[in-house]
């Protein structure tokens, strides 16, 4: 399964277990979500805060990644010169598997870069889960 499918399945399982009071399995699914996010989500290369899956805003049909803030560098001085704040939302698409929407200012066309990074990561095949 691809990462976005595994994450959506685990998010849905977390919510279902929480709704039925099955805290043990809700925690197990939550731990697996944390492990996969730590392994696959980007860190560095401008996405320095490390995006986080927002479990409360996510469902089996929508993944929301908060803190996708980008640390920009000045093209001439090579020094950091500010941040833009972004949230990445992933929704299903019958044609393309999923579609991304990225909130925030599109400074220097950064939304295309963020979409490229997340598109590649979310399409990664996950062969093992614990």
Question: What pLDDT, in 10s, does the model give residues 6-46?
Answer: 999 999 999 999 999 999 999 999 999 999 999 998 877 76
- At 121, the pLDDT band (50, 70, 90 cuts) reads very high
Rounded to an integer, what distance in angstroms lies between the CA atom of residue 127 and that of residue 119?
18
- At 1, the pLDDT band (50, 70, 90 cuts) reads very high
Backbone angles phi, psi at 21, to 5 degrees: 80, 15
Rounded to an integer, what distance in angstroms lies between the CA atom of residue 120 and that of residue 25?
30
Question: What pLDDT, in 10s, does the model give residues 63-97?
Answer: 999 887 887 777 788 777 888 888 999 999 999 89
Closest by Cα among 59, 55, 64, 62 to 32: 55
Rounded to an integer, what distance in angstroms lies between the CA atom of residue 29 and that of residue 8?
11
Q: How many CA atoms does the CB half-sphere of 85 hold within 13 Å?
A: 2
Per the structure block, which two tokens stand in for 60? 């089996």
Which 8-state DSSP code applies to residue 95?
T
Question: What pLDDT, in 10s, does the model give residues 45-62?
Answer: 767 677 889 999 999 999
């Amino acid at each position: 399964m691809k990462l976005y499918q595994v994450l959506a399945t685990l998010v849905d399982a977390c919510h279902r277990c929480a709704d039925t009071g099955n805290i043990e399995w809700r925690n197990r699914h939550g731990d697996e979500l944390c492990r996969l996010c730590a392994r696959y989500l980007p860190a560095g290369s401008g996405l320095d805060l490390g995006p986080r899956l927002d479990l409360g805003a996510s469902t089996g049909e929508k993944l929301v990644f908060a803190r996708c803030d980008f640390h920009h560098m000045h093209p001439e001085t090579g020094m950091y010169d500010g941040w833009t704040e972004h949230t990445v939302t992933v929704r299903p698409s019958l044609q393309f598997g999923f579609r991304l929407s990225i909130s925030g200012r599109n400074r220097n066309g950064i939304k295309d870069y963020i979409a490229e990074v997340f598109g590649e990561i979310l399409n990664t095949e996950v062969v093992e889960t614990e």
